[in-house]
Amino acid sequence: MSSILIENIRELAGIDYQTRILLSGKEMTDFETLHNAYVYIKEGKIEAFGKMDRDVIYKIRQQNPDVLIMDASGRLVFPAFCDAHTHLVYPASREIEYIDKIKGLSYEEIARRGGGILNSAARMQMASEDELFSSASVRIEEIMSMGTGAVEIKSGYGLTTDSELKMLRVIKRLKENHPVRIKATFLGAHAVPQQYKGRQSEYVDLIINEMIPMVVAEDLADYIDVFCDKGFFTVEDTDRILNAGMKYGLRPKIHANELARSGGIQVGVKYNALSVDHLEFTEDEEIEVLRGSETMPVVLPGAAFFLNMPYAPARKMIDEGLPLAMASDFNPGSSPSGNMQLILSMASILYRLTPEEGLAATTINGAYAMGLSEELGSIAVGKTANLCVTRPIPGLAYLPYYYGTNKVDKLILDGEICVEH
Ligand code: NIG
Ligand code: FE
């Protein structure tokens, strides 16, 4: 395994000297940076970092004559993005619905007509594992080229036992074939399939009695999710599913409060969810429930932007002292982009996060929401060397500011250069 010494870094961002697993409230804007810095990577880990110092650099080079020297003059180096919420395995794009949306139909109206998730589910029946694997691989390469080093991927376009298992097997294959770190989430409760219309609780029974046991038997999922929202699954459905998941050792990550104050945050916290995601409809009561819990609130700016929906009170949550993550929600219906640099821009422009807060939300706190933050998400000695090196840019603030283009020049994962533009 090679070692790399990155020298003359204009700005090294996302530093955590205490190797914490998440940052809350004010800690987020205190996510530190260093100017004129170095990072030394050895055996896939961050071995050392600090201000450029001639003696230290000389010593490292002496001790390790084979070290690859990378000059990062004028460049920003930061932890690779940790995207804690995506649906990036899907059979086909849905730009037709997008036109309906532009003409004024709501997300719920499209769903009621058999569009939306059910449209993807119908196509999923016909897609082969090979087709799904190859189209998702293209998306993974695309997000890596923009700096993502860890990603969570959900099932939920299957909605039959066979198709859900098919999706999860594809995710397993992606894990085995890509250097990016992947976590798999079982989302059988994404929508009620057509054939169960009016018999929602029977579909919940199917999830509990058939899908969960089979998913666990094949060890296909790290987490379990439910779309707990108006017009989708109720708090009672969610409670039953999470209870069953818990018995099989599956920790929840919940879709909550995207379309209404659904009670999803409360039921998620009740089951010690790793995260509750979306949160557009969040008020003081939900903020109090989150306070003191181990559940990460995850906001998905791409979905609110794309659907023209209200924005979650992210600024307020941080001001109230909560931690906060932001993820892409990469999916064909409500957020057809996995570009975390764009999420960072939205974090500042739409939600008023500082560049440091945005970086914390898309790196260390995202890593927490995937159960990976002991290893990933910040510049800390001993953590896995998953880093982005940008093209020459003035500094961290330029990353969200100069929106819409790719500023990442190199992606280093497990100490190896995986992307080089
Ligand atoms: O996170 N909200 C529920 N699920 C997805 C949308 C999936 C789709 O429309 O295909 C989301 O936005
Ligand atoms: Fe989602």
The pLDDT tens digits for 201-217 are 999 999 999 999 999 99
- Cα 156 to ligand 2 centre (Å): 9
111 falls within a domain: yes
The predicted pLDDT at position 82 comes to 99
Does residue 129 sit within a domain? Answer: yes
Tokens representing 55? 């003696």
Instruction: Please list all protein residues whose beta carbon sits less than 5 angstroms from ligand 2, which is an ion.
Output: 329
For 276-329, the pLDDT digits (tens) are 999 999 999 999 999 999 999 999 999 999 988 999 999 999 999 999 999 999
Range of the domain at 400: 4-80+378-420
Q: What pLDDT band is residue 107 in, cutting at 50, 70 and 90? A: confident
Say how far apart CA 317 and CA 168 lie, in whole Å: 33
* pLDDT value of position 344: 98
Task: Report the nearest atom of ligand 1 relative to the CA of 117.
Answer: 10
Q: Confirm whether 186 is domain-assigned.
A: yes
- Amino acid 115: pLDDT: 80
Ligand 1: atom nearest CA of 329 is 1
- % of the chain residues with pLDDT over 70: 100
Q: Is residue 53 part of a domain?
A: yes
Residue 272 belongs to a domain: yes
Q: Which two tokens stand for residue 131?
A: 């087709």
Q: Are residues 158 and 20 in the same domain?
A: no
CATH number for position 364:
3.20.20.140
Q: Are residues 325 and 341 in the same domain?
A: yes
**Tokens 């940790």 correspond to what residue?**
82
Q: Report pTM.
A: 0.97
153 and 219 belong to one structural domain = yes
C-alpha to C-alpha distances, 204 to 21, 192, 242, 244, 321, nearest whole angstrom: 34, 9, 11, 11, 36
Residue with tokens 């989150």: 290
In contact, 329 and 366? CB cutoff 8 Å: no
Q: Do 174 and 323 belong to one domain?
A: yes
Same domain, 34 and 165: no
Query: Do 349 and 224 share a structural domain?
Result: yes
Distance CA 228, CA 253 (A): 11
Residue 408 lies in a domain: yes
pLDDT at 112: 80
Atom of ligand 1 nearest to the CA of 332: 10
- pLDDT, average across residues 388-395: 98
- pLDDT reading at 1 higher than 80: no
Of the listed ligands, the closest to the CA of 229 is: 1
The least confident of 93-97, 250-254, 390-394 is 93-97
Q: What is the CATH number of the domain that holds 387?
A: 2.30.40.10
Q: Does 113 score more than 80 pLDDT?
A: no
Residue 216 and residue 135 share a domain: yes
Same domain, 218 and 342: yes
The span from the CA of 176 to the CA of 168, in Å, is: 13
Q: How far apart are CA 112 and CA 163, in angstroms?
A: 21
> How many angstroms separate the alpha carbon of residue 146 from the centre of ligand 1?
22
In angstroms, what CA-CA distances link 257 with 10, 156, 245, 283?
Answer: 41, 18, 21, 10
Residue nearest to atom 1 of ligand 1 (CA): 329
Question: Which of 326, 348, 368 is at the close of a domain?
Answer: 368
372 CA → ligand 1 middle, Å: 23
Same domain, 58 and 86: no
Ligand 1 mutation target, pool 159, 190, 307, most atoms within 8 A of CB: 190
Residues 199 and 304 in one domain: yes
**HSE toward the beta carbon, residue 48, CA cutoff 13 A:** 12
Atom nearest to 227 CA in ligand 1:
3
Note whether residue 373 is domain-resident.
no
Asked whether residue 132 is assigned to any structural domain, the reply reads: yes
Q: Could you read off the pLDDT of 398-417 as tens digits, one per residue?
A: 999 999 999 999 999 999 99
pLDDT digits (tens, 9 = 90+) for 213-234: 999 999 999 999 999 999 999 9
Same domain? For 239 and 96 the reply is yes
What are 346-376's pLDDT values in tens digits?
999 999 999 999 999 999 999 999 999 999 9
Count of domains observed in the chain: 2
At residue 111, the pLDDT reads: 80
Q: What is the Cα Rg of the chain in Å?
A: 21
Write down the pLDDT at residue 110.
86
| The last residue of a domain, from among 368, 395, 411 | 368
Residue 165 and residue 127 share a domain: yes
Six-digit token pair at 294?
């181990």
> DSSP label at 323?
B
Of all helices (H) and strands (E), which one includes residue 78?
strand 76-79
Q: With bands split at pLDDT 50, 70 and 90, how would you rate the model's confidence at 114?
A: confident
CA dist., res. 284 & res. 316, Å (int): 10
Q: Which two tokens stand for residue 332?
A: 């064909």
320 CA distance to ligand 2 middle (Å): 25
Up-side HSE of residue 196: CA atoms within 13 Å toward CB?
A: 18
- What are the angstrom distances between the C-alpha of 327 and each of 101, 144, 204, 255? 23, 14, 27, 13
List residues near ligand 1 (CB under 6 A): 87, 116-117, 120, 227, 255, 258, 303, 329, 331-334
Rounded to the nearest whole angstrom, what is the distance from the C-alpha of residue 301 to the centroid of ligand 2? Answer: 11
- The 10 Å Cβ neighbour count of residue 59 is 11
Dump the DSSP string for 291-302.
TTSSPEEEE-HH
